[in-house]
Amino acid sequence: MDLSLDAIQQFAPDDASAKAAKALVIPAKWPKLQYSEAALWGECQGSGAKPYLVQIDKSGPAFKCSCPSRKFPCKHGLALMLLWLQHQTAFANCEPPAWVCEWLNSRQSRAEKQETKKAEVVGKAATPTDPLTATKREAARRQRMAAGLTDLQRWLADNIRQGLVQLSMRPREFQEIAKRMVDAQLPGIAQRLRQLEQRVGADEDWPARILAAFGQLQLLIDGFQRLDSLPEIAQADLRTALGLSPDKDVVLASGETLTDTWLVLGQRVDEEDRLWVRRVWLQGRDTGRRALLLDFSHGTRRFDLTLITGTSLKMTLTFYPGSSPLRALVVDTPQVLPEALSPQASPSSQTLTDLTNTVAANPWQWPLPMVIDQVVPTPSHQGWQLVTSEQQSFPLRITDQDAWPLIAEAGGAPVTIFGEWDGEKLRPLSAWSAGLVWQEGATNP
């Protein structure tokens, strides 16, 4: 387990945990620090009489602590990993005690059960279901969706006829129609409507942006009305936009499979109504393909910790269907590799051409990954921008808190930027110059 300080900081659930962990990176506060080939463990003296039992499975890494914290990993787990990075001589090499062995064995048992379950799921997907039952279920859902989209079309027409400005005086308008879309089994439409609510009144051009978004919603409605006549790939794109992604077992059984060494380009975590969503962006070393891994966690921010920005992993992915497939599932157990990779970038003109072609093929797929080479982050009166060597500029969606550290790490020199393009601006997630030099939201040492 060879991790840098930046990589360890990515495990922190929030800045407060990262800061609290740093205060514990003092060997004297740990009566016992030990390690084996498989794990690290230690005892951290807290406010109570008994020290907290902290352990890390190196293969994950995975964390466990006896403290009552609901954060994962807690400050003690982060501190133990930082101690291993900065004070390895303080650890004694020995056989794991019973409480560590029990945890490691339980993790191994769960991993084996998951592999067995995955194999069963794939086998189940290969078994055909009753055609009559499936047809009835699909027809009932299509009927609910059609009624919901008719309701949405009426809502769009009413707002355009009355004038978009009045939306700023009815703040709950979008929430109410979004709930009706959820009832109609159209979660993709509901999510788009909630995002639109944030644009109302955001700047002086917001009515034009809302009108363009209404046009995309109408395009979705028109597409659904002639869904069966569309090519199969276009149907897959439209279903995804409506929120009807195929089941994972179907994707694993029939999706495009690709094995490569994947670089973790960047990641972002968002939260809405206690549902945490993590987007992890990858790029294949040999194929150049980009992939998106979507993870969900309800209530607490708890995700697989092997996917760290800047790391390389040997693994096999299966892609969801679509005209320009991005979303994928991990098929096997990722193997973390020591080699350092950098993003493969094209000239800015080619990047724009590729982006245009992707949007033309699937206008509903947002955000889109973008890698821009040899750019300089620059402040302006219109906000932050990326300026290319050809003096082209790309508007950025970035806070001053993240922008100034990015400039400091770049040192004024051109860097390669990876980020998410949302149709209007680029949100930088990582910056590269002979390796990872910056990532969004990283806690400064």
pLDDT for position 119: 63
Give Cα separations from 266 to 133, 365, 388, 437 (angstroms). 42, 18, 21, 12
Pairing of strands 426-432, 393-395: unpaired
Q: Tell me which DSSP letter residue 154 carries.
A: H
Average the pLDDT over 42-56 and give the result.
Answer: 89
Q: What is the mean pLDDT of residues 246-267?
A: 92
Model confidence pLDDT, tens digit, residues 401-435: 889 999 888 888 899 999 999 988 999 999 999 88
Contact assessment for residue 298 and residue 224, using Cβ atoms and an 8 Å cutoff? no
Please tell me the predicted confidence (pLDDT) of residue 6: 76
Tell me the average pLDDT of the chain.
Answer: 88
Q: What is the mean pLDDT of residues 220-240?
A: 92
Q: Residue 294: what pLDDT?
A: 93
Give the pLDDT confidence of 292-350 residue by residue, as tens digits: 999 988 777 777 777 889 999 999 999 999 998 999 999 988 888 888 889 998 888 88
- Residue 90 has φ and ψ, to the nearest 5°, of -80, -10
Average pLDDT for 158-175: 89
CB 318 within 8 A of CB 331: yes
The C-alpha atoms of residue 22 and residue 37 are separated, in whole angstroms, by 25
pLDDT in tens, 10-45: 788 777 888 899 999 999 999 999 999 999 999 998
- Contact assessment for residue 196 and residue 252, using Cβ atoms and an 8 Å cutoff: no
For residue 363, pLDDT over 70 is answered with yes
How many helices (DSSP H) and strands (DSSP E) are in the chain? 12, 17
CATH 2.40.50 for domain 248-337, yes or no, is: yes
Integer angstrom CA distances of residue 229 from 186, 239, 333, 359, 401: 20, 14, 39, 21, 49
Instruction: Provide the pLDDT for residue 123.
Output: 59
Lowest-pLDDT range of 13-17, 183-187, 367-371: 13-17
Cα(77)–Cα(65) distance, integer angstroms: 7
So what's the pLDDT on residue 444? 42
Q: Which one has a higher pLDDT value, 146 or 16?
A: 146
Q: Write down the pLDDT at residue 390.
A: 83
**Residue boundaries of the structural domains of the chain:** 5-101, 131-242, 248-337, 348-439
Rounded-to-integer distance, Cα 340 and Cα 263, Å: 9
Q: Could you count the other beta carbons within 10 Å of the beta carbon of residue 376? A: 16
Percent of the chain at pLDDT > 70 equals: 95
Cα–Cα distance for residue pair 192/361, rounded to 1 Å: 19
Residue 278, φ and ψ in degrees, nearest 5: -115, 130
Question: What value does the mean pLDDT take over residues 37-58?
Answer: 90
**Rg of the chain on CA atoms, in Å:** 24
What is the token pair recorded at 194? 């909630």
Q: How confident is the model at residue 443 (pLDDT cuts 50, 70, 90)?
A: very low
* Rounded average pLDDT over 171-175: 86
CA distance 357 to 191: 25
Please tell me the predicted confidence (pLDDT) of residue 48: 79
Q: What is the percentage of the chain residues whose pLDDT exceeds 90?
A: 50
Total residues belonging to the chain: 445
Residues 6+ apart with CB under 8 A from 150: none
| Pick from 239, 261, 234: nearest CA to 250 | 239
Tell me what pLDDT residue 184 has. Answer: 94
- Would you list the DSSP string of 39-100? EEEEEE--SSSSPEEEEEETTTTEEEESS---SSS-HHHHHHHHHHHH-GGGPEE----HHH
Asked if pLDDT for residue 114 goes beyond 80, the answer is no
